Structure 1
Amino acid sequence: MPNEPLPWHKSSYSGARGDCVEVSEGATTHIRDTQNRALAELNLPAHEWSAFLTTLTR
């Protein structure tokens, strides 16, 4: 699949004040700031993203 766009969605953990995070989940989870999409992107293995979310919800 050469250079297909990632299926981004707003994270359910994003705030209502515009401080949104978008994620694209798969074998690697991609995370970016909705307001600054072109600046940077964080990429984590799916198991690390899952562990991060588990820690946040404790």
Structure 2
Amino acid sequence: MTLLPEDWRKSSYSGQQSACIEVGRTHDGAAVRDTKNRSAGYFTATGQQWDTFINAVKTDRFD
């Protein structure tokens, strides 16, 4: 079981920009942090919360 986030990744759409977020895997979902201030910490979401968020993004619910 993964207790801390691992495998942090930045979107390929970000290119070389540093004003982005990174997403890491947790044992039951995802963690999100700011690439410019990684030491500030991160927030987590359960797998169900993350799936709901991704679905909302893909269906333009935030536009």
Is 1:53 aligned with 2:34? no
Q: Is contact 1:25–1:46 with CA below 8 Å preserved after alignment?
A: no
Structure with the larger strand share: 2
Give CA deviations for 1:7-53 in whole Å, capped at 9, x if unaligned.
111135x6455321101124231110111101120111011111101
Is 1:8 aligned with 2:8? yes
Q: Is contact 2:5–2:31 with CA below 8 Å preserved after alignment?
A: no
Identity of aligned residues (%): 28
- Residues in 2 aligned to 1:21 and 1:6: alpha-carbon distance in whole angstroms: 14
State the match for 1:23 in structure 2. 23
Q: How many correspondences in the alignment?
A: 57
Q: Which runs of 5+ in 2 are unaligned?
A: none
Structure 1 ranges of 4+ moved more than 2 A: 1-5, 14-19
AA aligned opposite 2:44: N
Q: Secondary structure at the match of 1:30?
A: strand
